[in-house]
Structure 1
Amino acid sequence: MHAMQYEITLPADYDMGVIRDRVARRGHLLDGWDGLGLKAYLTRERGLRGSPVSQYAPFYLWNTVDGMNAFLWGGGFQGLSDDFGRPSVRQWTGLAYEEGGGAHARFAVRRRQPVPDSGPPAGTVDEAVREVRRLTAQDGALLAAAAVDTSRWELVHFSLWEHDTPKADGDLFEVLHLSAPGRDRLPRGRRW
C-alpha cells in the first residue's frame, strides 16, 4: 500500500462551489481506476470546523505502484495540473490499514507527525499500528491507515468517518466523493 496526497490551498474568499462542482463532474472518473485502493476527495474551508485555510486535498491509498504511476504520468493527474498548476505530491509507504464498522465516509482526519530522532523508529511505528486499530474500533470509523515518508521521517495517519466528531486528532476534512475500486484489496493489518 502507498499513500499519496497533494494540497491546493485556495484564497480565503475562493468559491468552494467550484471545487464541489468539479468533484461532482469528475469524481466518478476514478471509480474504476486500476491499482487504486481508494481516493477521498477532500476539502476544508477556512473558518469551518477549525480550519485555518480553504483547501482541496485529495488523499489516495494505492494498491499498486503501477496504478499510481499511471495516474501521475498517464493522464489522470494532468487535468488537475492544467486547472490549478502542478502541486507537490506527497507520498508515504504503507505501514498499516484496517476497516471499521462505519458505512459512509462523510469526513476524514489526516495527521502528520515526525518520527522522533531519539530512540529506535520501530517503537513509533508500532504505536502508529496500534493507533490504526484504536481508530477503527471507534463508533463511526469507516477505515484508518498509517504510512511513513522516510525521506522526512514523517508519519501520516488517515481515517474516514461517518460524522464530524471523530475520535482522532488532526486536520478535519469533508469528503465530497469516495472512489474505492480496490478498497477490498487493500492489505489489512501491519505491513511487515
Structure 2
Amino acid sequence: MQAMQYKVGLPADYDMEIIRNRIRNNGNKTDGFTDLLFKAYLINDKSAGDLENSYSPLYVWKQTEGMTKFIFDGFFDNIIGSFGWQNIEIGVTQTVNLSESFPKSKYILEEYHDITEAASLNGFEFKSESYDDLLGQVTIYNPDKWKYVTFSFFGNRPQNTDKKIYTILHLSLDK
C-alpha cells in the first residue's frame, strides 16, 4: 500500500468555513474511489486553538493505479485550481491497523521520526506510541527523506500532548 498527503497552508485569517463547506459538499466524491482504502479530510483551525490553518488530506491506497488515476486523470486538478500547485508527499505503508470502530475517527495525531544512518537496516524498529482509545494507526515511511510518520486515529481529541493533531471532517472509505 502507498500513502500520500499534501499540506495546504492557509493564512492565519483564512475563513476555515470555506474548507468545511468544500468538504461537506464534495467529501463523499471519494467514497469508494478506485483502490482507495481511506481518505481522511484533515484540517487545522487556528480559531479552534490550533497553531495554524491548514488543509492536509491523507490518503492510503491499496494499489498504485488508483493513486495514479487520482493524480493524473483530472481529480487532483480541483486542488490545483483551488490552491495552486501542491507537492504531494508519497510514502510506503509499514503498518495499517484499523479497528472496526475506525469509521468513527474524528482526530489524528501525527508523529514524525527520523531513520538515522546505520551500517545496516536489518532489524530496524518502527516506534509508535500506544494509546488507550486508539481507533487505528498507520505508519508510513519514506526512504527518500529517511523519515517515517505514524498517524494515530481517535474518536475524541487527545489531551496533554505536544504532537500535531488534525480534525477529521470526513472519512472516505473503501466500499
TM-score for both structures, normalised by structure 2: 0.90
- Distance change in 2, residues 1:34/1:52 (3 Å): same
Within 2, Cα distance between the matches of 1:108 and 1:79?
Answer: 24
Aligned to 1:53: 52
The one-letter code sitting in structure 2 at the alignment partner of 1:100 is S
- The answer for the alignment partner of 2:71 in structure 1 is 72
Contiguous gaps of at least 5 residues in structure 2:
none
CA contact (8 A) 1:109 1:168 kept: no
The alignment status of 1:161 with 2:160, answered yes or no, reads no
The DSSP-based 3-state class of the residue aligned with 1:39 is strand
Structure 1 residues 117 and 90 mapped into 2: Cα distance closer, same or farther (>3 Å)? same
Counterpart position of 2:112: 112
Partner of 2:8: 8
| CA offsets 1:11-66 (integer angstroms, 9 cap, x no match) | 000000000000011100000201001000000112644x3211000001110100
- Cα deviation for residue 159 of structure 1 reads 1.9
Cα separation, 2, equivalents of 1:167 and 1:161? 14
CA RMSD of aligned residues (A): 2.1
Work out the percentage of aligned pairs sharing the same amino acid.
26
Structure 1 unaligned runs (5+)? 183-192
2: CA distance between counterparts of 1:45 and 1:121? 38
CA contact (8 A) 1:43 1:56 kept: yes
Contact 1:110 / 1:172 at 8 angstroms: preserved in 2?
yes
Shift of 1:111: 1.9
> Aligned residue for 1:83?
82
How many residue pairs are counted as aligned between the two chains?
Answer: 174
Give the whole-Å Cα distance in 2 for the aligned partners of 1:56 and 1:29.
17
For 1:60 and 1:159, locate their aligned partners in 2 and report how far apart those are by CA, in whole Å: 14
Q: Is the 8 A contact 1:62 1:68 kept in 2?
A: yes
More helix, by proportion: 1
Point out the more displaced range, 40-49 or 172-181.
40-49
Shift in alpha-carbon separation, 1:101–1:180, aligned structure 2, 3 A? closer
Map 1:1-192; keep pairs closer than 5 Å: 1-46=1-46, 48-49=48-49, 51-100=50-99, 102-103=101-102, 104-118=104-118, 120-124=120-124, 126-128=125-127, 131=128, 134-135=130-131, 138-139=132-133, 141-165=134-158, 170-181=163-174
